[in-house]
Chains A and B, each alone.
Chain A
């Protein structure tokens, strides 16, 4: 099964870290990502820029509205995503529990929705846009 792991982090904590602390922490994460790659479990991932550089789209009054934000009432922001291959949720939890990133902020682990993905595949098979 594919799991999407959403890694959250407290940006103010990150801002407060020294350059050395940051790179040490990232090196640890990269090393574990490499381990996942070698075992074929790492299907993809992206690190995200600060929420300060985000744009939010909303549909309101019949049109798309752009604003800055998201406005963080919560302290923790999405910092990166990782797509993981695992047998089941407990397996995914087991793998991500060993990921050094969890010491920095929570992971939200969500299974890919295969019924919707199947719909998309069926649509592509009918000659939709690839």
Chain B
């Protein structure tokens, strides 16, 4: 009887180590990077700390604060590692000395600093001096804890390529002196832009995928949303909130945006009952919070546009005047021909195809979008609605020449067939 109870206790402690690993390992890792100043050493130390927990907690009982225990154990393990290495490399002696327990204040292991460590890690991995491909790979590997193979699968590339990006990124962080810090207030907007761009890139990589590889890639969108939540939790800046809202509302349409055959379904043709109401509600509340801040950035405006769509029962009943007004705001704070193209499409919905077509033709005449397949596809669609079949066909053909993704090509071919 007594032995059974012991075994239950042991089992319970083992489960605690497992849940602690799942929930806390990235925080422990981030804090160890701050204390040790080295990604690889921190990783090794973290794994040794969890190994130690597996053998010691069942014997001695679980500590009151598992995370602090793990960080502290990790530091000791790192010192062991360094002492072993010092015999081979004298330059490590200085680092080893720095890590002696007397030099670190005990409050380093708890409190707000520890939360900041994850933020430091995000800003370090998303530093704009790192090559963009390294930023994404490092963030997924070090902040999200994905395996190199998982990152490779999601980006349809080899683990060796991803490993190289990660190694180069870590080498640059070390050698170029990129600090493990949350940027100062002055630099924050720009550095936050860089971090948000990484998150949105990860999201889009998971969102714009075709059906074949959709399982692994959908996980990327989930990972991006998780990162977005973490950023909002740690640094509730309006644009971080806006990006999270944008991702949630886009994600809400996932089930409705492709057919069973993997074909693209346009927003106006989607079965809106398939939209995820929970994501929409959360996204809309976040948009309102971001708009309420009075500092409105491009992610927030895009999220607001998505929120207006989410409110409408169908394309006809959409509040197009409001969407055009939001595109006006977006074009002012982030001028780009693609934004103008989207605005033109919204104008066509508000005022009819002809004024929209005039705007798109202007844009195409300026040349910037001449090689952008969606500009030609949008033009084709408006010509089709105006009954100008020959023009529509020519534009669909041009779009098809430029489109690269298979679902988009299938969609354009389908439209061409429908015309004839």
List the interface of chain A (C-beta within 8 A of B): 49-50, 52-56, 63-68
Contacts and interface: CB of A to CB of B under 8 A. Distances in A.
Max count, chain B CB within 10 A of own CB: residue among A49, A50, A54, A55: A55
B176 A67 contact: no
Interface stretch (B124-132, B215-223, B230-238, B290-298): B124-132
Given A49-B175, A50-B175, 20 more contacts: A49-B176, A52-B168, A52-B171, A52-B172, A53-B175, A53-B176, A54-B129, A54-B176, A55-B128, A55-B129, A55-B176, A63-B190, A65-B128, A66-B190, A66-B194, A67-B128, A67-B129, A68-B131, A68-B132, A68-B172
B128 A53 contact: no
Contacts of B171: 52-53
Nearest to B189: A63
Nearest to A56: B129
Report whether over half of chain B's contact residues are helix, strand or loop; otherwise say mixed: helix
Contacts of A49: 175-176
Contacts of A63: 190
Contact of B172 (A53, A56, A66, A67): A53
Interface residues of B, number: 12
A49 B171 CA distance: 12
Interface string B111-140: 000000000000000001111100000000
Interface of A is mostly: strand
A55 B132 CA distance: 13
B44 to A, nearest CB: 24
B176 A66 contact: no
Interface of B: 128-132, 168, 171-172, 175-176, 190, 194
Contacts of A64: 190
Contacts of A65: 128, 190
A66 B128 CA distance: 6
Nearest to B129: A55
Contacts of B190: 63-66
A53 B128 CA distance: 12
A63 B189 CA distance: 11
A49 B175 CA distance: 8
6 contacts: A52-B172, A53-B172, A65-B128, A67-B128, A68-B128, A68-B132
A68 B168 contact: no
B16 to A, nearest CB: 42
A73 to B, nearest CB: 16
What 9 pairs across the A-B complex have the smallest Cβ distances?
Answer: A55-B129, A53-B176, A66-B128, A53-B175, A68-B131, A53-B172, A68-B129, A66-B129, A49-B175
Contacts of A53: 171-172, 175-176
A55 B175 CA distance: 12
Nearest to A49: B175
A54 B127 CA distance: 12
Given A52-B168, A63-B190, A68 B175 contact: no
A68 B176 CA distance: 11
Most buried by A among B129, B130, B131: B129
